[in-house]
């Protein structure tokens, strides 16, 4: 049972998945810092207001709990698009190019096709060889 578990852990997919998760966590903190320190102030500046302002959004009632923060939604959307773009261009595209380089060209696995006249001559030759052998 332990050997089976060890084999499962040592398969390439599990190790690749663990590395991917670790990179994802690190990348998430980087993107969150970018959003909090760069995108969020820009989105809040569009909403205007004074130092006590909550940013871009609107208040439904007098209670602070009913403030609809549209700036937060826009910020999350921008962060999502930036994250997906970086993942696509930094990870997906290079991996696809590497896989294309590793993949053999079309027809590499197939044997070269023999012309029909050569195949027919080979059949005749093999038939003559079988006729000349003495029966066992």
CATH of residue 91's domain is 1.10.1200.120
Please check whether residue 76 lies inside any domain of the structure.
yes
Q: Give CA torsion, residues 32, 34, 35, 39, to 10 deg.
A: 180
Q: What mean pLDDT comes out for the span 2-20?
A: 71
Please check whether residue 117 lies inside any domain of the structure.
no
Please check whether residue 135 lies inside any domain of the structure.
no
Domain count, the chain: 1
Please check whether residue 72 lies inside any domain of the structure.
yes
Please check whether residue 85 lies inside any domain of the structure.
yes
Q: Is the pTM above the cut of 0.85?
A: no
Please check whether residue 86 lies inside any domain of the structure.
yes
What range does the domain containing 39 cover?
A: 2-108
Indicate if the pLDDT at residue 44 is higher than 60.
yes
Please check whether residue 118 lies inside any domain of the structure.
no
Model pLDDT, residue 124: 93
Question: Which of 81, 83, 101, 102 shows the shortest CA–CA distance to 91?
Answer: 83
Indicate if the pLDDT at residue 122 is higher than 80.
yes
Please check whether residue 126 lies inside any domain of the structure.
no
Could you give the CA distance from residue 50 to residue 54 in angstroms, rounded to a whole number?
Answer: 9
């Amino acid at each position: 049972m332990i050997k089976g578990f060890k084999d499962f852990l040592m398969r390439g997919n599990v190790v690749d998945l663990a590395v991917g998760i670790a990179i994802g966590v690190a990348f998430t903190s980087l993107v969150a810092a970018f959003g909090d320190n760069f995108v969020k102030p820009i989105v809040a500046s569009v909403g205007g207001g004074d130092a006590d302002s909550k940013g871009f959004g609107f208040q439904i009632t007098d209670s602070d709990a009913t403030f609809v923060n549209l700036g937060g939604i826009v910020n999350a959307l921008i962060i999502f698009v930036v994250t997906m773009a970086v993942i696509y261009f930094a990870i997906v595209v290079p991996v696809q190019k590497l896989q294309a380089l590793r993949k053999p060209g079309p027809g590499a696995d197939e044997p070269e096709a023999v012309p029909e006249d050569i195949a027919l001559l080979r059949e005749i030759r093999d038939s003559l060889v079988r006729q000349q052998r003495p029966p066992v």
